[in-house]
Amino acid sequence: MRVLILGAGVTGLTTAQSLAAEGHSVTVVDAETRAGRGASFANGGQLSYSYVAPFAGPGVVGKVPGWMLDPDGPLRFRPQADPGQWAWLISFLRACNPTTAEQTTRRLLLLSMLSRDLMREFSASAAFDFAFAPAGKLVLQPDAAALAGARRQMELQAGWGSAQSALSREECLALEPALGGIAHRIAGGIHTPSEDAGDCRLFCEGLAQSLTRSNAAVTLQLGTRVTQIIRAEGRVRGVMTTAGVMEADAVVLALGTGARALARPLGLALPIYPLKGYSLSLPITDDAAAPRISVTDSAAKVVYARIGARLRVAGMADVVGYSTALEEQRLSTLIRQARAAFPQASDWRELNPWAGLRPATPTGLPILGAAPGHPGLFLNLGQGSLGFTLAMGSAAILAAEIAGRPPPIPLDGFRL
C-alpha cells in the first residue's frame, strides 16, 4: 500500500518505521526542513512509562486558581479568540474527576507498557545513538500529604503492572546524592527503576536517516507544507501540499498541534490544543552535582533528565495559543527553579532555552485509529506530555489498524 504520513515528529517517524517493516511504501511529509523540529525537538527526554496519570486529575480543579495567581506556577492561561481553546478547557475540567482519571491511567498504562517493550527491543539494536539510558526515575514529593497521595497512586498502579517503591527523604538522597541541595524540600519520593531516558531529537534524526538509508520504501519529503486533505469518490485519496498534489492509498495524520486546522474542513473536530512548555539543555560541568536518575520535582512540576553530557530541564504547561516564542518571565522561572535544585551541575553560561507545543487532548488519551467517516484516513495524535514515551506503541497500533488486524491493546477510549 502507498501510505502518506503527515508529520516527521516522533509520532510520524515511528509510524513510518512500523509501516515500512510491514512492506508498505511510505512517504513522510513535513513543513520543516529537518525531522523532529516540532514538539519532539528538546522535550524532557523522559520515557516515563509508569507516570502516565493524566494532567486532568481529581485534585487539579482546586489547585488551578492558585497556580494561575502565582507568576511562577506551572500552569498559565491566556484567553484567545479561539472557540477551540474554550471547548478544550471545558472538556479538560469535565475530565478532572477520579473515575475518568483512573480509567485514563489504566488505558495509558497499557499503551506505555507496549511502548516500553518495543522501545527496549529497538534500542537494543538501534543503528544510531540517541543517548538512550535505562536511567530510572524518582518523583519527589514536598510534604507528607503529597507523599501519601503518591503512595495511593503507586498502590493503585501496582495492580496494573507498575513496579515502584516509596522512599523516605534519606533513601532518596542515598539513591541520588546530587539532591543534597534541595533535601529540605523533600518529604520522600516514588522510585521507578524501569523508566528510561533519551534524546528525542536525536531519535527522530537517526530514525529518519536510517529509514531512508536502509529502506528504499521510505521517502522523506521535507520543506513541504500540507494545505489540504483530498477526498474523492467517498474516501481520502491524498493531500494538497506546497509542492503539489500527493496521492496515496492511506494517509496518516501525525501533525501534532498542526492537525486540528487541517482536519476541520473534513468536519473532524479534533480535541487537541497546545500545552506550551519550556526546556533548558545545560552542559554538565560538575558530573557529581548532576542527577544520574531522572528526577521530577512534583511541587514545581519540573523534570530533570541526564541526556548524554547535558542536563535537560523541562516544565510549564501554558494554555496560551500556538506561539512558540520564548517568554522571558516563564524562562527565568524555569532557570531559577533548576538553579536552586542543582546549582553546581552546570556553570549556567549555556542554557539552550526552547519552547514547544504539546499536542494535548483534554483527557490525556491520544487519538488513535481510523478517522470515522473518512475511509483512507488514519489518526495518530494527541500524545500530549507523553509523545516520546507512547510513540512506539501508538505506531504499532496504527500499523495493525491499517493492515486490518486486531490492535495489540484494546482501543476503547482511544478512537475519535
Ligand X SMILES: Cc1cc2nc3c(=O)[nH]c(=O)nc-3n(C[C@H](O)[C@H](O)[C@H](O)COP(=O)(O)OP(=O)(O)OC[C@H]3O[C@@H](n4cnc5c(N)ncnc54)[C@H](O)[C@@H]3O)c2cc1C
* Residues near ligand X (CB under 6 A): 7-12, 29-32, 37-40, 43-46, 48, 225-226, 254-256, 258, 262, 277-279, 303, 314, 356, 358-359, 383-389
Q: Which is nearer to ligand X, 9 or 73 (CB)?
A: 9
Looking at the Cβ atoms of 284 and 368, the one nearer to ligand X is 368
Could you write out the DSSP letters of every residue in 161-208?
T---EEEEHHHHHHH-GGGGGGGGG-SEEEEETT-EE--HHHHHHHHH
Task: Give the cell for residue 269.
Answer: 473536530
For Cα atoms 262, 265, 271, give the angle at the middle one, nearest 5 degrees.
60
Q: Tell me whether residue 31 or residue 397 sits nearer to ligand X (CB atom).
A: 31
Q: Which amino acid is at 246?
A: M
**What's 49-65 look like in SS3?**
CCCCCCCCCCCHHHHHH
Is residue 49 within 8 A of residue 113, CB to CB? The reply is yes
Determine the residue type at 210. Answer: S
What does the block give as the cell for 32?
Answer: 520543516
Does residue 385 contact residue 359 with C-beta atoms inside 8 Å?
Answer: no
Task: Kindly tell me which of 187 and 200 has the beta carbon lying closer to ligand X.
Answer: 200
DSSP state of 125: T
- Residue least distant from ligand X (Cβ): 387
CB of 4 to ligand X, least distance (A): 11
Q: Which residue lies nearer to ligand X by CB, 46 or 363?
A: 46
What amino acid is encoded at 327 in this protein? Answer: E
The nearer residue to ligand X, 67 or 171, going by C-beta atoms, is 67
User: Could you give the CA distance from residue 221 to residue 227 in angstroms, rounded to a whole number?
Assistant: 14
Residue placing its CB nearer to ligand X in the complex, 169 or 366: 366
- The HSE-up count of residue 316 (CA atoms within 13 Å, CB side) is 34
Distance CA 384, CA 105 (A): 14
Minimum distance of ligand X from residue 168's CB (angstroms): 26
